[in-house]
Amino acid sequence: MKSLYYAANVTRVYRHAIEVAAAGGDYLAHLPHWIGELELVSHRPYTADLWNEFEGMRFDGVPYVRKTLFMGYAVEPGTHPNETRVKTHNPVRAGDEIEAIFPGPDHGAGDQIFRVMEIGEEEKSVAMAQPGKVYLFKLDKAIRPDAVFRKRIEDDKERARC
């Protein structure tokens, strides 16, 4: 029931943690980054004792923590290094800044913020990409072909817009 973004981000954090532990690395040095990344996926509040910590609230009454929106993922590269076809999961507007996360050995170091310069749909530009469709995104810089896109939610006004 979790999104592709949730699975991608949690898996990359866990994978890196396992690799660091197996190599005998400094696990504690990476812990703040890992916790920060896990805070960016939609989740119920972390707790050691869910049933008692929320003073008898029913399980469905515990609010979700949501700091990012899953915007979509790259399905294939475009013809230019700054282009990618994206399957969208939330509205994306031309001019929006979206963050791309990547799997692999850089473990977050390669994550970047991109500005959506133009959104293409069937040979024409559109102002907004709608959820559930594939669009050609022209970005402000080159993009890897394995990107998963998210947008950080700053406040209630931003949540309402998305």
- Return the domain boundaries, the chain: 4-61, 68-161
**Tens of pLDDT along the chain (162 residues)?**
788 898 999 999 999 999 999 999 998 999 998 988 888 888 777 667 656 655 655 555 667 778 899 999 999 999 999 999 999 999 999 999 999 998 877 666 678 999 999 999 988 999 999 999 999 999 999 999 999 999 998 754 444 444
Cβ atoms 57, 45 nearer than 8 A: no
Q: Give the span between the Cα atoms of 97 and 38, in whole angstroms.
A: 21
The CA dihedral of 38, 46, 156, 4, to the nearest 10 degrees, is 40
Q: Could you confirm whether domain 68-161 is CATH 2.40.160.100?
A: no
- The angle formed by the CA atoms of residues 47, 68 and 35, to the nearest 5 degrees, is 40
pLDDT, position 141: 96
pTM score, two decimals?
A: 0.80
